[in-house]
Amino acid sequence: MNVLLKGVVGSTAYGLNHENSDVDYMGVFAAPTSEVLGLGKVQESVVSKDPDTTLHEAKKFVTLCLNGNPSVSELLWLDRYEYVDNLGDDLIGLRRSFLSAKKVRDSYLGYATSQFERLKNRGDGSFSADTRKRTEKHARHLVRLVEQGFHLYRSGELVVNLRSNASEIDPDWVFQVGSRIADDPSRAEKYMRQAEVRFDSTKTAILGEPDVAAVERWLLRVRRADWGLSG
């Protein structure tokens, strides 16, 4: 498989992992151009275990990024990579070309809302220790999504690792707020309302729309490279 880019994502990348956390990998691969142009169906994603790894085909990956998918887009903003080739490096260089203020706002708040829905559906309160752990995890990721998304919206920069020097988000605070929300999921509703106000009252650093043409030029280079064509 022609892997272009691969890195550690999820809790480990955020700096929110603990000793029992799984290590998750995500990457981008290029399907053979003959398959892309042929009659068969191109495999868009490859998922494997031990370790948990998700690889997206180049076209699917950039499409998800153009749609503002937070969990996929973060791959382009990591501090380090397990593997990156020249085309993967060029893709990282295009990361701002995928940004749209509206999509950042809507996607991050939307994904946070999906975590909120999981919290509301956790049960009647008589739940196991394992359920409690999952509830706290959903609550932490709700807070993380809001705070990372707001920082990206305001600054134009996504800081994935909350423990890095570039982060304005205290990971210990994320744990504390997540724990309080897990104790009482109704607190998430107030937090989400406040988050919407924060987004809507803040000037964004993201100007214009995604540079679709630049992304498409990169994708065409990927296809030409597989066939040994220049350009």
Q: How confident is the model at residue 122 (pLDDT cuts 50, 70, 90)?
A: low
Residue pair 148/168 in contact (Cβ under 8 Å)? The answer is no
State the angle between helix axes of 129-155 and 101-120 in degrees (0 to 180), rounded to the nearest 10: 170
* Total Cβ atoms within 10 A of residue 203: 7
Is 16 domain-assigned?
A: yes
Residues 129 and 196 in one domain: yes
DSSP SS3 for 142: helix
Structure tokens at 149: 């998304």
Report, as an integer, the average pLDDT of 156-174. Answer: 93
pLDDT value at residue 136: 86
Domain region containing 74: 2-98+210-226
pLDDT value at residue 86: 97
Is 205 domain-assigned?
A: no
pTM of the model: 0.91
- Residues in CB range of 118: below 8 A, 6 or more apart: 138
Q: How many domains is the chain built from?
A: 2
Structure tokens at 27: 């990457």
**Rounded to 10 degrees, what is the CA torsion of 94, 96, 102, 103?**
40
Least confident of 18-22, 158-162, 211-215: 18-22
Residues 167 and 111 in one domain: yes
The beta-strand segments (E) located in the chain are: 2-9, 24-30, 45-48, 52-57, 83-84
Residues 81 and 6 in one domain: yes
- CATH number of 83's domain: 3.30.460
Residues 105 and 195 in one domain: yes
* pLDDT tens-digit series, residues 21-75: 789 999 999 999 999 999 999 999 999 998 999 999 999 999 999 999 999 999 9
Q: How confident is the model at residue 182 (pLDDT cuts 50, 70, 90)?
A: confident
User: How many degrees, rounded to 5, is the angle at CA 111 between CA 105 and CA 115?
Assistant: 140
Rounded to whole angstroms, the Cα distance separating 171 from 162 reads 6
pLDDT value at residue 21: 77
